[in-house]
């Protein structure tokens, strides 16, 4: 089979027409402008509506929490408490992201290969997402805890529960996005189902897969944090949020600082997926040029 014609059959390589790359300087300026606008709106709302500190603390008071020392005086809160617990949550979310991603891809491949399985199982996959995560998380944590599972495993399972659905739907749509002309060309060269999947369907599905992985990245962090809330958890951002809530009346900025750390974990996770997407697309473009 001609390699040129085989590559021509793969229509997943979409080159932007007329798109100009955004310079790093302009991107940094945009981010700085957004930060300034948010800070101005925050402090402006506090001054305009005369909001007390227990309702809306000053931004400087929130950021000052990261410099406070722990009760034992072992170091600043951001290094001793925040970073350690954020690393625990990140590890749990990553484990759930991998488990949910693999399970979602497997379901998508199964559904794409067998319409019978899709008609029989897809309604249950959709229905699983209608159950509130706050109801599922305690059951999973308690059940796996009684079975002697490691502390991180129940959190990873809850994160995987929120991860597999967008991956399944996005991957399934991607596997079916190949054009009829491309499929006809593969059949004209007597390509097997495996060759068609590897050479055509899988590369075509990559943009859809990475789009769903971006959604799943932040969802996995949310799932890990929610799973840390039930009693018994010792580490994680969810535990820090509970502690900050208990002492909110005496130290309101602490809760806001913890929420900012949780958001930073989600942003880091999302950024890693974006980097992986660029690397995959870059490799694909190199193959196209070659």
Q: What's 250's domain CATH number?
A: 1.10.3720.10
211 in a structural domain: yes
> Which pLDDT belongs to residue 197?
87
> What total of structural domains would you count in the chain?
2
8 in a structural domain: no
169 in a structural domain: yes
Q: Are residues 228 and 155 in the same domain?
A: yes
236 in a structural domain: yes
Splitting the chain (290 residues) into consecutive groups of 10 residues, what average pLDDT does each group show?
Answer: 41 40 73 89 90 88 81 64 88 96 96 92 92 89 87 93 95 91 86 86 91 94 91 82 86 89 93 90 48
184 in a structural domain: yes
Q: Are residues 102 and 62 in the same domain?
A: no
How far apart are alpha carbons 93 and 202 in whole angstroms?
Answer: 26
Interval 179-214: pLDDT, tens: 888 888 888 888 888 888 888 889 889 989 999 999
Q: Are residues 175 and 34 in the same domain?
A: no
pTM: 0.82
Query: Residue 245 is encoded by which pair of tokens?
Result: 């809530």
DSSP state of 70: P
Q: Are residues 34 and 135 in the same domain?
A: no
Q: Are residues 62 and 85 in the same domain?
A: no
> Which pLDDT belongs to residue 158?
95
201 in a structural domain: yes
> Which pLDDT belongs to residue 24?
66
245 in a structural domain: yes
Q: Are residues 44 and 73 in the same domain?
A: no
> Which pLDDT belongs to residue 94?
96
**35, 67, 99 - which closes a domain:** 67
Interval 93-122: pLDDT, tens: 999 999 999 999 999 999 999 999 999 999
> Which pLDDT belongs to residue 5?
38
Q: Are residues 118 and 175 in the same domain?
A: yes
20: phi then psi, degrees, rounded to nearest 5: -105, 130
| Residues 88 and 225: beta-carbon distance below 8 Å | no
55: phi then psi, degrees, rounded to nearest 5: -95, -40
How far apart are alpha carbons 83 and 259 in whole angstroms?
Answer: 13
How far apart are alpha carbons 167 and 269 in whole angstroms?
Answer: 16
Range of the domain at 206: 68-289
Nearest to 66 by CA among 80, 87, 55: 80
Q: Are residues 62 and 76 in the same domain?
A: no
């Amino acid at each position: 089979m001609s390699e040129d014609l085989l590559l021509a059959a793969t229509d997943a390589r979409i080159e932007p027409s007329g798109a100009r790359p955004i310079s790093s300087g302009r991107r940094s300026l945009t981010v700085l402008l957004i930060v300034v606008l948010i800070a101005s709106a925050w402090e402006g709302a506090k001054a305009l509506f005369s909001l007390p500190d227990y309702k809306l603390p000053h931004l400087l008071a929130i950021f000052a929490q990261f410099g406070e020392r722990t009760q034992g005086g072992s170091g600043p809160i951001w290094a001793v408490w925040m970073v350690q617990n954020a690393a625990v949550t990140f590890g749990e979310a990553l484990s759930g992201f991998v488990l949910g991603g693999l399970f979602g891809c497997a379901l998508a491949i199964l559904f794409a290969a067998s319409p019978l399985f899709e008609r029989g199982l897809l309604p249950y996959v959709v229905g699983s997402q209608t159950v509130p995560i706050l109801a599922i998380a305690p059951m999973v944590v308690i059940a796996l805890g009684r079975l002697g599972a490691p502390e991180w495993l129940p959190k990873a399972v809850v994160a995987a529960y929120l991860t597999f659905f967008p991956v399944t739907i996005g991957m399934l749509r991607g596997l079916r996005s190949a054009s009829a002309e491309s499929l006809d060309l593969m059949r004209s060269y007597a390509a097997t189902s495996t060759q068609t999947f590897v050479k055509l369907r899988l590369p075509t599905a990559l943009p859809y897969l990475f789009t769903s992985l971006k959604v799943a990245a932040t969802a996995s962090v949310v799932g890990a944090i929610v799973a840390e809330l039930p009693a018994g958890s010792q580490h994680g951002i969810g535990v820090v949020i509970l502690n900050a809530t208990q002492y909110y009346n005496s130290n309101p900025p602490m809760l806001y600082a913890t929420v900012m750390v949780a958001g930073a974990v989600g942003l880091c996770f999302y950024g890693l997926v974006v980097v992986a997407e660029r690397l995959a697309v870059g490799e694909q473009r190199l193959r196209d040029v070659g």
